[in-house]
């Protein structure tokens, strides 16, 4: 698909200049099935490219938990034509930024350079993605690195409270397992396992190549095809397909005496990423704990002084999601923080949101959407995510119009559906002493 290339300035009814946000997006499917997406941004000097794998840690077998993240690390250790040091030197000589990440549902390898460095950058990116060596010595060394990363995260209370909550919330499902894996699974990986997983995951059917910058689509596709066109479709690719997991309400108190604060995570199941009510959910999250003017921030931090950090966060996936409130407080104040949070959830279900507050949340969300698409890197990532999750591209104008249509009644109905006491799950981590919490304590 494609769209007109240049923005057009118009005047709003109030006399303000309004810039059209029409995007110049095009897509091509290579003969082997790999999808290439581009967005032309003629006003920028940078070019961002990413190879996206449409699978992540939730696509792993229990015995191979952490393999997606391990492969992500290992491709940087050298290829059939470049050592790890050569990769680093070439990227630095371009002034580029080479990065990667693994999530529950995706793996991404990306590079950002000036447009005139597109050819050598594409060559490095394609080489490390397609031709890793996975030498036995590198596997052993990286096992040590990732085992230390696991220990480091276990010492991070913000990470740990989320991990404990998630493992209990989606207990028995791959979505509840850690992205990094465990010490046991990581220690079991070897060269044979890595090559097997790489072949299944890095197949044309599961890869999306996205790019954004001052580029010409057809010429760029030719460059990509020269590198990726010879990759054969795998006979047994790892395609993302799941039965939605059942969320398990729980109360988990994990005692850790070394912590000065109690870390709190209070959450409920939420709709998946492509739910038609998603903009109502985003607005509700914004009002609840999405910024300095949010209800939780104002009530718990500003009015009561009970916590420094307090916020809410949406975590949507293909077939499910969660909405969680996170806070850190002293053990003496933690129970009050939970009770005040429950009261704010109850207020969303029982009281209509005042129009000025809803308008403020809409302004905040609109600004975040527009400013979040200002760089070539954010556009590149947005292209891939929209393709993988929606199979189409939403323009900024279309998204803003959908946000504007959300009513206070719709948000209240969502709150009534989500914030039911029997659906609540709570994890508290810290020096809890003799603290006890039961289900009756989760009723506002």
The confidence score (pLDDT) of residue 11 equals 35
Catalytic (active-site) positions:
72
What are the Cα distances from residue 205, in Å, to 71, 170, 240, 271, 432? 18, 28, 11, 27, 49
pTM over 0.85? The answer is yes
Farthest CA pair distance, the chain = 67
SS3 assignment, position 224:
helix
Helix (H) or strand (E) holding 281: helix 278-289
Instruction: Go through 10-21 and write b for each residue having 16 or more CB atoms within 10 A of its CB, e for each that does not.
Output: eeeeeeeeeeee
Whether the predicted pLDDT of 353 surpasses 60: yes
Whether the predicted pLDDT of 149 surpasses 90: yes
Domains of the chain, residue spans: 9-228, 251-442
> Which pair of structure tokens corresponds to residue 35?
């999808």
Instruction: Tell me 368's DSSP state.
Output: H
Task: Confirm whether 9-228 and 251-442 share one CATH topology.
Answer: yes
> Which pair of structure tokens corresponds to residue 151?
């220990």
pLDDT category at 142 given cuts 50, 70, 90 is very high
The fold of 9-228 is Cytochrome Bc1 Complex; Chain A, domain 1 (3.30.830)
Helix (H) or strand (E) holding 235: none
Angle between the N-to-C axes of helices 408-418 and 355-371, in degrees from 0 to 180, rounded to the nearest 10: 90
Helix (H) or strand (E) holding 73: helix 67-74
Whether the predicted pLDDT of 9 surpasses 80: no
The confidence score (pLDDT) of residue 240 equals 57
**288 vs 359: CA distance, rounded Å:** 14
What class is the 251-442 domain?
alpha beta
Task: Centre a 10 Å sphere on the Cβ of residue 81 and count the other Cβ atoms it contains.
Answer: 10
**95 vs 97: CA distance, rounded Å:** 7
**345 vs 364: CA distance, rounded Å:** 21
The confidence score (pLDDT) of residue 248 equals 96
Per-residue model confidence as pLDDT tens digits over 418-435: 999 999 999 999 999 889
């Amino acid at each position: 698909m494609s769209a007109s290339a240049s923005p057009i300035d118009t005047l709003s009814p109030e006399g303000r200049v309004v810039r059209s946000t029409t995007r110049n997006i095009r897509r091509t499917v290579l003969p082997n099935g790999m999808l290439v997406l581009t967005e032309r941004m003629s006003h920028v000097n940078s070019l961002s490219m990413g190879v996206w794998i449409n699978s992540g840690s939730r696509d792993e077998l229990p015995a191979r938990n952490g393999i997606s993240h391990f492969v992500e690390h290992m491709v940087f250790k050298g290829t059939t034509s470049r050592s790890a040091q050569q990769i680093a030197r070439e990227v630095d000589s371009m002034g580029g930024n080479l990065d990667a990440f693994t999530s529950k549902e995706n793996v991404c390898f990306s590079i950002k350079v000036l447009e005139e460095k597109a050819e050598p950058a594409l060559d490095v990116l394609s080489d490390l993605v397609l031709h890793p060596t996975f030498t036995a010595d590198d596997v052993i060394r990286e096992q040590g690195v990732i085992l230390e990363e696991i220990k480091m995260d276990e010492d991070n209370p913000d990470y740990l409270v989320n991990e404990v909550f998630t493992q209990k919330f989606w207990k028995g499902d791959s979505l509840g397992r850690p992205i990094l894996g465990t010490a046991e699974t990581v220690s079991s990986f070897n060269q044979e396992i890595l090559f097997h997983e790489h072949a299944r995951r890095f197949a044309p059917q599961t890869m999306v190549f996205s790019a954004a910058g001052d580029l010409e689509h057809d010429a760029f596709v030719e460059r990509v095809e020269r590198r990726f066109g010879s990759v054969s479709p795998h006979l047994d690719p790892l395609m993302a397909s799941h039965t939605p997991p059942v969320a398990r309400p729980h109360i988990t108190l994990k005692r850790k005496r070394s912590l000065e604060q109690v870390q709190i995570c209070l959450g409920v199941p939420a709709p998946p990423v492509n739910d038609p009510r998603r903009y109502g959910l985003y607005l509700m999250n914004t009002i609840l704990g999405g910024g300095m003017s949010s209800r939780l921030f104002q009530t718990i931090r500003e009015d009561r002084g009970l916590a420094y950090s307090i916020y809410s966060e949406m975590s949507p996936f293909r077939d499910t999601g969660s909405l969680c409130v996170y806070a850190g407080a002293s053990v003496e104040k933690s129970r009050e923080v939970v009770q005040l949070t429950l009261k704010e959830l109850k207020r969303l279900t029982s009281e209509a949101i005042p129009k000025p507050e809803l308008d403020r949340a809409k302004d905040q969300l609109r600004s975040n959407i527009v400013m979040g698409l200002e760089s070539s890197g954010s556009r590149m990532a947005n292209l891939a995510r929209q393709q993988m999750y929606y199979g189409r591209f939403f323009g900024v104008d279309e998204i803003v119009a959908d946000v504007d249509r959300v009513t206070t009644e719709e948000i209240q109905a969502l709150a009534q559906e989500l914030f039911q006491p029997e659906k609540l799950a709570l994890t508290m981590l810290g020096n809890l002493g003799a603290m006890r919490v039961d289900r009756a304590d989760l009723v506002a």
